[in-house]
């Protein structure tokens, strides 16, 4: 059997990449090929269509049939798994699980406090199967946001106060698995991220803007978030949403948040007068 990353010879791939939506899977596959690292590409059913159009998919799995993916990876004697990309959470009542998934759902049914607890439980269950769960930065360390001002523009005095207050508020909300982003303007929290995601939350916050100038996006990692499979991400679309909303910049938790298209993001912020700070 020839796998997605193999060119001239057949050998057992060393890494299974289970991919959803978004840009990060593309970066990881490109980096794996650049490094000559063997991988097996597994797509979550209903996700990653653009990825599948560019790369050979070795296996497609339904979220209700995770046992099949586990068997597939074990049969290849792979132990390293990297789960990456956005996933649309299905309604549990509408799925017909295989035996492994049914046992997993039964195990967590009385102990679910939010999406993060589900992901953490999934990670532990996969580790109990003998797998090692990797994080995107294990392959591409440069994805993590560094500390400090990242472009040409700096937050003003009011921005700095909003960053200080907003960071504390975001961490408190994160402790309760409520969200990982908020928009704060001159001391007033305009919006907290819910199920719609960061970019849509920014659009919602724009309708509540009080002042002509001001407004900062704060993005953190929840204290209990599993960093290997659920790191928060910003990209060029996030910066465009901030610009369109009339806000002044973004402060993100350094060494915790992933920045996609780093150079493009910084260049856009410089051109549009937005600040980006890793805190």
pLDDT tens, 138-153? 998 889 999 999 999 9
* Residue 5 belongs to a domain: no
Q: Check: CB of residue 189 under 8 Å from CB of residue 201.
A: no
Q: Is the pLDDT of residue 94 over 70?
A: no
Same structural domain for residues 186 and 259? Answer: yes
Confidence of residue 262 (pLDDT cuts 50, 70, 90): very high
Please report the pLDDT score of residue 13 as a whole number: 63
Separation in Å, CA 106 to CA 35, 42, 99, 116, 120: 40, 25, 11, 17, 15
Look at residue 8 in the predicted model and tell me its pLDDT. Answer: 45
- Tell me which of 139, 170, 188 is where a domain ends: 139
Owning domain of residue 46: 15-139
CB 69 within 8 A of CB 42: yes
The pLDDT of residue 162: 97
Model pTM score: 0.80
**Residue that finishes a domain, picked among 117, 139, 161:** 139
Percentage of the residues of the chain whose pLDDT score is greater than 90: 64
Structure tokens at 34: 């650049």
**Of 85-89, 110-114, 208-212, where does mean pLDDT reach its minimum?**
110-114
150 and 123 in a common domain: no
Residues 158, 270, single domain; the answer is yes
Mean of pLDDT values over 236-245:
95
| 7 within domain boundaries | no
204 pLDDT more than 80: yes
When the pLDDT of each residue in the chain is averaged and rounded to a whole number, the result is 88
Q: What is the mean pLDDT of residues 203-212?
A: 91
| Mean pLDDT for the stretch of residues 18-36 | 91
The reported pLDDT for the residue numbered 5 is 54
pLDDT of residue 3: 56
Measured between alpha carbons, how far is 234 from 242 in angstroms, rounded to an integer?
Answer: 11
Q: Is the pLDDT of residue 115 over 90?
A: no
Q: Is the pLDDT of residue 40 over 90?
A: yes
Q: Which two tokens stand for residue 91?
A: 């309604």
CA angle 79, 85, 91 (to 5 degrees): 100
Q: Which of 156, 213, 218, 158 is nearest to 184 (CA)?
A: 218
Is residue 77 within 8 Å of residue 13, measured between CB atoms? Answer: no
171 and 262 in a single domain? The answer is: yes
Residues 188, 117 share a domain: no
State what percent of residues in the chain have pLDDT above 70.
90
- Please tell me the total count of domains within the chain: 2
In a domain, 216, yes or no: yes
Query: How confident is the model over 254-274, as a mean pLDDT?
Result: 95
Task: Please compute, for residue 186, the number of CA atoms within 13 A of its CA located in the half-sphere on the CB side.
Answer: 7
Same domain, 122 and 24: yes
Instruction: Give a yes or no: residue 6 inside a domain.
Output: no
Using 50, 70 and 90 to split pLDDT, how confident is the model at 87? Answer: confident
User: Going by C-beta distance under 8 Å and a sequence separation of 6 or more, which residues neighbour residue 187?
Assistant: 161, 162, 165
**Confidence band for 18, pLDDT divided at 50, 70 and 90:** very high
Per-residue pLDDT of 211-224, as tens digits, reads 888 999 999 998 87
Q: Greater confidence, 257 or 96?
A: 257
- Indicate if the pLDDT at residue 112 is higher than 60: no
Q: Does residue 9 lie in a domain region?
A: no
Helices marked H in the chain — which ranges?
A: 24-35, 49-54, 66-75, 99-108, 115-128, 136-139, 157-175, 198-206, 236-245, 262-272
Residues 105 and 198 reside in one and the same domain:
no
């Amino acid at each position: 059997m020839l796998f997605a990353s193999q060119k001239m010879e057949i050998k057992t791939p060393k890494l299974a990449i289970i991919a959803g939506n978004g840009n990060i899977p593309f970066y990881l596959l490109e980096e794996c090929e650049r490094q000559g690292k063997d991988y097996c590409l597994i797509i979550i059913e209903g996700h990653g269509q653009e990825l599948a159009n560019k790369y050979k998919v070795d296996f497609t799995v339904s979220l209700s049939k995770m046992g099949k993916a586990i068997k597939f990876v074990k049969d290849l004697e792979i132990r390293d798994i990297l789960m990456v990309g956005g996933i649309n959470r299905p309604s549990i009542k509408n799925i017909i699980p295989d035996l492994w998934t049914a046992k997993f759902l039964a195990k967590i049914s009385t102990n679910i406090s939010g999406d993060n607890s589900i992901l953490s439980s999934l990670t532990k269950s996969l580790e109990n199967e003998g797998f090692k769960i990797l994080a995107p930065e294990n392959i591409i360390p440069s994805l993590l946001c560094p500390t400090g001002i990242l472009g040409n523009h700096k937050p003003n005095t009011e921005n700095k106060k909003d960053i200080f207050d907003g960071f504390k508020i975001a961490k408190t909300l994160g402790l309760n698995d409520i969200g990982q982003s908020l928009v704060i303007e001159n001391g007033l929290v305009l919006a907290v991220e819910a199920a719609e995601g960061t970019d849509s939350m920014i659009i919602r916050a724009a309708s509540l803007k009080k002042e002509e100038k001001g407004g900062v996006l704060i993005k953190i990692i929840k204290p209990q978030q599993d960093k290997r499979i659920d790191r928060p991400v910003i990209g060029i679309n996030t910066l465009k949403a901030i610009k369109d909303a009339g806000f002044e910049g973004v402060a993100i938790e350094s060494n915790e948040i992933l920045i996609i298209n780093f150079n493009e993001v910084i260049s856009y912020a410089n051109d549009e007068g937005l600040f980006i700070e890793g805190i």
